[in-house]
Chain A
Amino acid sequence: MAVTTDLAKGLWWRVGPVLTVVAIVLAVWYAAAVWLNAAQVIERTLSSQPGWGALDLIRLTLSMDRPVLPAPHQIVLDLFDSITGWPLDSPRNLLFHTAVTSSATLLGFVMGTLLGAVLAVVIVHSRTLERSIFPWIIASQTVPVLAIAPIVIVILGSVGLTGLFPKSIISMYLCFFPVAVALVKGLRSPGVMELELMHTYAASSRHTFWKLRVPASLPFLFPSLRVGIAAGLVGAIVGELPTGAQAGLGARLLTGSYYGNTVQIWSALVMSALLGLVLTGAVAFAERALTPGGRK
């Protein structure tokens, strides 16, 4: 039927290229796994077995305990085992670590967004503050803010605050900048004509703020929320590094690298990637739900 062929063609047009690229990546990955792991396999196992062939090599390189590069299926299996094989509150279950990291991220995200919003509103309404603080906020975007993470952990640790709170402070710090900058831009985006229109209605500044500035700022806000939550996730993960935390995806990455457990590292990495996708996807979903009528 013409309809189904059109549908199939449309689907292929959208999804086909991505699938092709993914297939290529997987193929290259498997080949790389064989190549990178070969040296160890040959040295440890095969050299003592006479007459080994390519198939033996492939089989062994793709099922090592501590490979240089784990095969994709090894990672998937490890993830599956970790999630299903252990109770949810066990440190052997990746979901436990995911929950730890995501709670810090979300808390930091909420705090950072609120702080950024408040600061943006204040800056838009005060000339003095705008000219004295806003240049610093813009300049601070060029500074590797994440370098501050260890300090925050140590300082807060010295006053007895450990665990969730310091990590969420780091996330908050990272979310706050893009949100503040984008909101200032967005709140100031209405043009002279729209502002004069409100003037002809003798609208109070409260009216102008809520009926004009805030809706006009939403298209600026949502992309920055996506950036903010991705940055917050990075902040939470990095916050788990300095003091050898025991829980969280960053901690898993660190312990994996200390003990040379490659598969664990890759599993934690894939899990963090999935978490990042879920979080930014949620923001994108919220954006679509809150933007009327498909306006860009």
Chain B
Amino acid sequence: MSTVTLVLVLVVLVALAVLSVRWLAAFDERGFVGRFGTPLLFGAWVLVFWQILVEVFDVPRVLLPAPSVIGHSLLVSLPVLAGDFAQTVLHSVLIGLVAGCALGFVVGVLIDRSPFLQRGLLPLAALASAVPLIGIAPIMVMWFGFDWESKAAVVVIMTFFPMLVNTLAGLAESGHMERDLMRSYGASYWRTLFSLRLPVALPFVFNALKINSTLAMIGAIVAEFFGSPVAGLGFRISTEAARLNMGLVWAAILVAALAGSVLYGALGWVERRVTFWHPSIRSGG
């Protein structure tokens, strides 16, 4: 089509996009449509313009493939990506996340009775958050081999400290009045722990779980950049990128993004059910 028609069409589309998004943004302030519709509509328009611009300007596939190409790659490579998903998410991420969080939680509970150990470990945990822990990946590969176990080990190390810090903070959160109440009942340390202090600590634990879910995804995928057998999302991304097979790379990233959001969302759902009593959940999050 001629340049003039093209420009005209683009202008009309841009106007339409801006107006529709603005309309929706001002529309239903609190309701479902207003809160989710606007970003979704915005995202849809981004896809539309992406597709048009890539085709019109004949952008090389290496630079930026069109959404249609990515979608096609996704469908075509579904079995491969499913295998990658199982390797990375189901093995490295989930197992590592559960192990790392459990370890952090248990250590937190154990050193709850020792302020000395807390004062010793908390500064180290602060240091650990400043340090690129991901660098431990090649060492884990040396110790645990190329398969998912080494990636899960990386995830365990990355998720241990945030969970430890948050568990301790949560255990310290119960108020003096409530603890005095338990004392007036003659409750033992463990009874107080289970009936009062752990429930109060739950919002903190969930906060760490959500942070850790993101860290786990990143850790598992990036650890695979350091060397992996023949499967895994990180492996797929780095090797296919080196082969300039960009459609598949973006498809793999899409899978990783979806997995990350679903995991985070699932944790949020559980959190809302378990800590329904907390002010931040009651006021609508």
Direct contact, A vs B (beta carbon within 8 Å): yes
Report yes or no: B38 in contact with A268, Cβ–Cβ below 8 A.
no
Within 8 Å by CB of A136, from B43, B213, B246, lies B43
In A136-181, the 8 Å CB interface with B consists of 136, 139, 141-151, 153-155, 158-159
A135 to B38, CA, bound (A): 9
Report yes or no: B63 in contact with A136, Cβ–Cβ below 8 A.
no
Q: Does B136 interact with chain A (Cβ within 8 Å)?
A: yes
Contacts of A21 in B (CB 8 A): 117, 120-121, 124
Contacts of B117 in A (CB 8 A): 17, 21
In B26-41, the 8 Å CB interface with A consists of 26, 34-36, 38-39, 41
Is the interface on chain A under 10, 10 to 19, 20 to 34, or 35 or more residues? Answer: 35 or more
A143 to B253, CA, bound (A): 9
A146 to B238, CA, bound (A): 11
Known contacts: A131-B25, A154-B241, A237-B132. The answer to whether A144 contacts B41 by CB under 8 A is no
Contacts of A234 in B (CB 8 A): 132, 134
Main secondary structure of the interface of B (DSSP, over half): helix
A147 to B226, CA, bound (A): 13
Report yes or no: A238 in contact with B225, Cβ–Cβ below 8 A.
yes
Q: Does B221 interact with chain A (Cβ within 8 Å)?
A: yes
Contacts of A119 in B (CB 8 A): none
Q: Would you give the 0/1 interface string for B91-121, flagging 1 where the beta carbon is closer than 8 Å to chain A?
A: 0000000000000000000000000111111
Report yes or no: A142 in contact with B135, Cβ–Cβ below 8 A.
no
Is the interface on chain B under 10, 10 to 19, 20 to 34, or 35 or more residues? Answer: 35 or more
Report yes or no: A158 in contact with B132, Cβ–Cβ below 8 A.
no
**Interface positions of B (Cβ within 8 A of A):** 21-22, 25-26, 34-36, 38-39, 41-43, 60, 62-64, 116-121, 123-124, 127, 129-132, 134-139, 141-143, 213-214, 217-218, 221-222, 225-227, 233-234, 237-238, 241-242, 244, 246, 249-250, 252-253, 256-257, 260-261, 263-265
A277 to B43, CA, bound (A): 38
Q: Does A94 interact with chain B (Cβ within 8 Å)?
A: no
**Interface positions of A (Cβ within 8 A of B):** 13-14, 16-22, 68, 127-128, 131-136, 139, 141-151, 153-155, 158-159, 226, 230, 233-234, 237-238, 241-243, 249-250, 253-254, 256-257, 260, 262, 265-266, 268-269, 272-273, 276-277, 279-281
